RNA sequence: GGUCCCGUAGCCAAGUGGCUAAGGCAAUGGACUGCAACUCCGUGAUCACCGGUUCGAAUCCGGUCGGGACCUCCA
């Protein structure tokens, strides 16, 4: 298994800390709004990462947080004349709904900042004690200058950052690059701390949660490419101070989803919410997986439609195969794949092992579709079709695609038989009526 | 101003030093078919441009043009 590590800028062989186990943490959303389709990309991609590791036999401990204490949430609560918790709960629920819509599992540990406040505070306390952080008037800042390799993840040099730093409004900081760990505030919900009432900064929650949940270093830390700097860089800095290591062995980042070649922007009207997508969600999932995760993916109606059509084609072949086998009472028979099928499966897995090359994996899915369609046109191919169906199931499970096919009922079978007979007897009017019924039932 | 990424056929998209540059969509020719749909077979690119390194480059280096990201909350 090879994967690209942002920390080293290299594609490396994956070696878990504990054999057979993958501990991974993905930065989750700040819950102040519905997620847009760009937010869905990591939700889909890292779900596939987990699914593939599970396919490989690993036990995957998957954690992804919700940031439910944040200025945006407070702003939204004031706007809506309600409280922060209500806003957070509403959008967490909406997030789960959207994640399920795009085919991602929601069965994982999802810690919330409000639940980890004491862990976050004690993490900051330790940084202060170790002199890596300092308090000024109830605010706590991280002392970036004490981290010798600051910039290691994002490939930046402290000097360059200093040059780029704009006029610093917060004159309380020793250094413009220092970031906030805790801040005093008069607006919105606050929590008691050794430095007075206030709220945690954004960068500490993830490291504190990882420390609390996993008890130290994890295998994979992931998120969108936009998080590399400053968020993940700052996580690393804090953890270097806290535990003298980089928190995770592998850092994975997905590229952005763009519209008109630019990232989504609410203020410029370039945003599409997941809940508002007017297309099949499996088609959307296929669309996001059709480009390598580290490349940007450009969203257009045309491209999405293309993948919706592609998904329909895949689903059609799958369901036809399923029904043919069901009609022949062959679904519960076990058969072995022939060499061609084995090759398709092997290539699929090899593509996934090459830094999750889902585009190439999908090419194998298409090869499987072609293979199966060829078999469907030939006689006496039930064993091959049964084996192909199993490969389909494997691919779907890894990619998180669901063709939603069910076993035929007695009524379904009766209609199907009648249709076949009518065609045989050249009763075409009758056959067409029966075909309509089968189409309605989703069987043809 | 600083740092960095990208530019492959009409469209989507692999490939990052070496067989005739994967695959899909669209288009087009053919086959199958009671009709339609579906499906199957065939047909297309020298890789933005210029120069260099090399026996050999889409793949490495330099430059030009074009697009984008980050440096401030942002997946």
- How large is the average pLDDT for residues A391-411? 96
A329 with A361, same domain?
A: yes
For residue A372, give the nearest of A385, A383, A363 by alpha carbon. A385
Q: Residue A342, CB, less than 7 Å from strand B?
A: no
Domain assignment present for residue A293? The answer is no
Nucleotide nearest the Cα atom of A320 (by C1'):
B38
Task: Using a 7 Å cut-off to protein CB atoms, list the covered nucleotides of chain B.
Answer: 1-4, 11-15, 22-26, 34-36, 38-41, 67-75
Strand B close residues, chain A 403-422, CB < 7 angstroms: none
Give A265's pLDDT tier (boundaries 50, 70, 90).
confident
C-alpha span between A417 and A422 (Å, rounded): 9
Is the same domain home to A309 and A386?
yes
Do A270 and A323 lie in a common domain? no
Q: Cβ of residue A295 near strand B, that is under 7 Å?
A: yes
Q: Residue A22 — pLDDT band, cuts 50, 70, 90?
A: very high
* Any strand B atom closer than 7 Å to A178 CB: no
Q: Tell whether A154 and A231 lie within a shared domain.
A: yes
Give the pLDDT score at A165: 61
Domain assignment present for A50? yes
Considering chain A, what percentage of its residues have pLDDT values greater than 90?
86
Read off the pLDDT band of A278 (50, 70, 90): confident
Least confident of A121-135, A173-187, A335-349: A173-187
- Residue at A429 is within a domain: yes
Instruction: Identify, with chain letter, the residue nearest to nucleotide B3 (CA–C1').
Output: A156
d(CA A348, CA A365): 8
Tokens of A239: 């953890």
Rounded to an integer, the average pLDDT of A266-270 is 79
Residue A243 lies in a domain: yes
Same structural domain, A417 and A395: no
* CB-to-strand B under 7 Å, chain A 103-122: none
Range of the domain at A384: 301-399
Number of domains in chain A: 3
A370 half-sphere exposure, CB direction, 13 A CA radius? 8
Q: Is the pLDDT of residue A169 over 60?
A: no
Same domain, residue pair A346 and A322: yes
pLDDT tens profile A92-145: 999 999 999 999 999 999 999 999 999 999 999 999 999 999 999 999 999 999
Claim to verify: residue A255 and residue A116 sit in the same structural domain: yes
Please state the three-class secondary structure of A369-381 as a single string: HHHHHHHHHCCCC
Question: Is pLDDT larger for residue A156 or for residue A14?
Answer: A14
For residues A138 and A89, state if they share a domain: yes
Report CA(A109)–C1'(B46) in Å, whole number. 51
Rounded Cα distance between A341 and A96, Å, is 36
State the ipTM, two decimals: 0.93
Task: From the CA of A306 to the C1' of B27: give the distance in Å.
Answer: 15
Structure confidence at residue A46 as a pLDDT band (50, 70, 90) = very high
Distance, angstroms, CA A327 to C1' B72?
Answer: 62
Closest nucleotide to A255: CA versus each C1'? B75
Using the predicted structure, report yes or no on whether residue A167 has a pLDDT greater than 60.
no
Kindly report, residue by residue over A59-95, the tens digit of the pLDDT: 999 999 999 999 999 999 999 999 999 999 999 999 9
Q: Taking 80 as the threshold, does the pLDDT of residue A162 lie above it?
A: no
Query: Residues A227, A149: one domain?
Result: yes
Print burial letters for A7-17: b (CB count within 10 Å at least 16), e (below 16). Answer: beeeeeebebe
Question: What pLDDT does A368 receive?
Answer: 97
Residues 6+ apart with CB under 8 A from A169: none
Which residues of A spanning 223-282 put their CB closer than 7 angstroms to strand B? Answer: 223-227, 229-231, 254-258, 261-264
Instruction: Please write down the HEC assignment for all residues of A315-364.
Output: HHHHHHHHHHHHHCCCCCCCCCCCHHHHHHHHHHHHHHHECCCHHHHHHH
Sign of CA dihedral A153, A158, A159, A163: positive
pLDDT confidence band for A11 (50 / 70 / 90): very high
Residue nearest to nucleotide B71 (CA to C1'): A164
**Distance, Å, A93 CA → B34 C1':** 53
> What is residue A441's predicted lDDT score, i.e. its pLDDT?
87
- A384 shares its domain with A417: no
* pLDDT value, residue A158: 85
What pLDDT is recorded for position A397? 98
> Does pLDDT of A366 surpass 90?
yes
Q: Residue A363 CA to nucleotide B22 C1', Å?
A: 9
User: Residue A101 CA to B41 C1' — how many Å?
Assistant: 38
Question: Residue A304 CA to nucleotide B23 C1', Å?
Answer: 18
CA of A435 to C1' of B36 (A): 11
């Amino acid at each position: 298994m090879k994967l690209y590590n942002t920390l080293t800028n290299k594609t490396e062989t994956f070696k878990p800390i504990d054999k057979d186990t993958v501990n991974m943490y993905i930065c989750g959303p700040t819950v102040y709004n519905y997620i847009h389709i760009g937010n869905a990309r990591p939700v889909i991609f890292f779900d596939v990462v987990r699914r593939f590791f599970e396919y490989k036999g690993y036990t995957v401990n998957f954690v992804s947080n919700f940031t439910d204490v944040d200025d945006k949430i407070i702003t939204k609560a004031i706007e809506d004349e309600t409280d922060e918790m209500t806003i957070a709960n509403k959008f967490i629920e909406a997030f789960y709904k959207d994640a399920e819509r795009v085919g991602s599992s929601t069965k994982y540990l999802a810690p919330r900042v409000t639940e980890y406040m004491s862990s976050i505070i004690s993490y900051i306390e330790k940084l202060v004690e170790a002199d890596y952080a300092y308090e000024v008037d109830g605010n706590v800042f991280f002392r970036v200058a004490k981290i010798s390799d600051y910039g290691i993840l994002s490939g930046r040099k402290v000097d360059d950052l200093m040059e780029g730093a704009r006029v610093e409004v917060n004159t309380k900081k020793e250094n413009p690059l220092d970031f906030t760990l805790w801040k005093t505030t008069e607006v919105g919900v606050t929590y008691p701390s050794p430095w007075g009432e206030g709220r945690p900064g954004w960068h500490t929650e993830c490291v504190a949660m990882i420390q609390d949940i996993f008890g130290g270093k994890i295998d994979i830390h992931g998120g969108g490419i936009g998080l590399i700097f400053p968020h993940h860089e700052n996580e690393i800095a804090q953890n270097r101070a806290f535990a003298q290591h980089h928190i995770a062995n592998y850092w994975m980042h997905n590229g952005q989803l763009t519209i008109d070649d630019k990232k989504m922007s609410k203020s410029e009207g370039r945003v599409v919410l997941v809940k508002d997508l007017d297309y099949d969600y499996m088609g959307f999932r296929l669309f996001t997986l059709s480009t390598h995760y580290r490349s940007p993916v450009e969203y257009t109606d045309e491209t999405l439609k293309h993948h919706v059509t592609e998904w329909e084609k895949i689903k059609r072949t799958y369901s036809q195969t399923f029904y043919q086998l069901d009609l022949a009472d062959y679904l519960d028979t076990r058969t072995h794949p022939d060499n061609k099928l084995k090759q398709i499966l092997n290539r699929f897995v090899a593509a996934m092992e090459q830094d999750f090359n889902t585009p190439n994996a999908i090419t194998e899915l298409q090869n499987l579709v072609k293979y199966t369609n060829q078999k469907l046109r030939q006689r006496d191919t039930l064993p091959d079709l049964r084996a192909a169906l199993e490969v389909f199931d494997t691919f779907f499970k890894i990619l998180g695609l669901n063709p939603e096919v069910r076993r035929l009922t007695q009524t379904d079978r009766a209609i199907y038989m009648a249709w076949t007979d009518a065609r045989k007897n050249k009763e075409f009017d009758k056959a067409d009526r029966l075909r309509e019924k089968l189409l309605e039932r989703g069987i043809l």
